[in-house]
Amino acid sequence: MKTESLVWIGVSLIILFLVWLTVKPLISPIIFSLAMAYVFHPLHMKLSEKFGNKKSAVLLTAVMALFASVLLIGAALWLRETLTYLYIYIGDVFNWLLGVNLPFGIGESIQTLSKTIPEKLGGILLGYTFSLPKFMLQAIVFLALFYAILTNSDFLSMEIYRLLPKENRELGIHLVERAKTTLNAILRTWLMLSVLKGVFLTVGFVLFDITTVSGAIAAGILCIVLELLPVIGGWILWVIGAVYLIKTGNMAFGVLFAIYGAVFISPIPDITVRPKLVAKGAKVSSVVALIGIFGGIMSFGIKGVIIGPVALGLLVTLLEEWKEREKETLTQETTQLSKAHRSKVA
């Protein structure tokens, strides 16, 4: 019996190893498809009520395919120039941060990031520049998995709960629910809102003719990064754009762009949209966000944008659950001791 068990364990490990080798080159589109399917699942459920499950999934997948096509064309036409602008913008931002007297060794950390982040982003972007066929393959995998997850979302949800162990099942359900709340805060609020602000900034830079298309894309990417930092945000970039327009003699355009930036980038979206997206008790610490995004990028590449903050958010959730369980256990023990003491006195 032991020999048979060992054989099956060995066979299982071999299968898992082969599966890992197969999936490893496509891990980035798999992670992003899971994240995007989770983000768009509420919209999918609303559309399913009107058009049906499959039609809704097809519609959202078509939107994603259009976005991927635009991104692919952009990669072919603008990515190299965008990379140059991105280096310049990031260098200017880090030089400005290094000029500020930041306490508690933050300056040294910023200096390290100023060397590591541009190099890492450069490697990522150059990798996609010289491997467009690979990018196309990843886009196909992303779209196929995105559609499959949406059409089978109810089944996958039931399977997650079904796989929970019977012992301490209540704790497992509680952890899953808390994890969903954390994912809502990280993906549907924090990352999604940052990406939308980056898109609006890019569109604004192009419409108001502040820079070239490549420069606008680079500014949008930088806006997303700045939105992930505590205190600093994308408002810095629209202020710079407005000042640039005013200094070049376009006073009316400068004022209009300032209004555009305040309405679509910051601070109005932070006052009106963000509170509605953030569930009660689901706020993510800015420190967790900062460490998650940059640590994730440096460790895992572009997919670290998802892996890093999600992993840290779930770790915080697990620690909070552990503290609550310990508190409940301590309360129960105190109650039992109190009852025992009263019984002894009586």
3-state secondary structure of 231: coil
Taking a C-beta distance cutoff of 8 angstroms, is the pair 138, 29 a contact? yes
- Per-residue model confidence (pLDDT) at position 280: 47
For residue 144, the model assigns a pLDDT of: 92
Residue 243 has pLDDT above 80, yes or no: yes
Residue with the bigger pLDDT between 110 and 234: it is 234
- Does 260 have pLDDT greater than 90? yes
| Confidence (pLDDT) at 323 | 79
Mean pLDDT in residue range 202-214: 87
What is the pLDDT, as a whole number, of residue 107?
A: 61
d(CA 53, CA 238): 40
The whole-number average pLDDT for the span 297-307 is 74
Confidence (pLDDT) at 108: 64
Average pLDDT value for the chain: 77
Mean pLDDT, range 178-193, rounded to an integer: 73
pLDDT of res. 283: 57
pLDDT at 205 over 70: yes
Mean pLDDT of 150-156: 87
Would you report the helix, strand and coil content of the chain in percent, each value rounded to 5?
Answer: 85, 0, 15
Give the single-character DSSP code of 25: G
Which helix (H) or strand (E) segment is 269 a member of?
Answer: helix 268-277
pLDDT value at 197 more than 60 = yes
Q: Would you state the pLDDT for residue 211?
A: 82
Q: What is the mean pLDDT of residues 115-126?
A: 62
So what's the pLDDT on residue 115?
66
Residue 325 reports pLDDT greater than 70: yes
What pLDDT is attached to residue 257? 92
Higher pLDDT, 192 or 293: 192
pLDDT at site 145: 92
Per-residue CA distances from 324 to 65, 248, 254, 328 (Å): 44, 59, 52, 6
Nearest to 317 by CA among 217, 184, 153, 211: 184
Q: How do residues 3-50 score in pLDDT, each as one tens digit?
A: 777 888 888 889 888 888 888 878 888 888 888 888 888 889 999 988
Indicate whether 194 pLDDT > 90: no
Q: Higher-confidence residue: 46 or 346?
A: 46
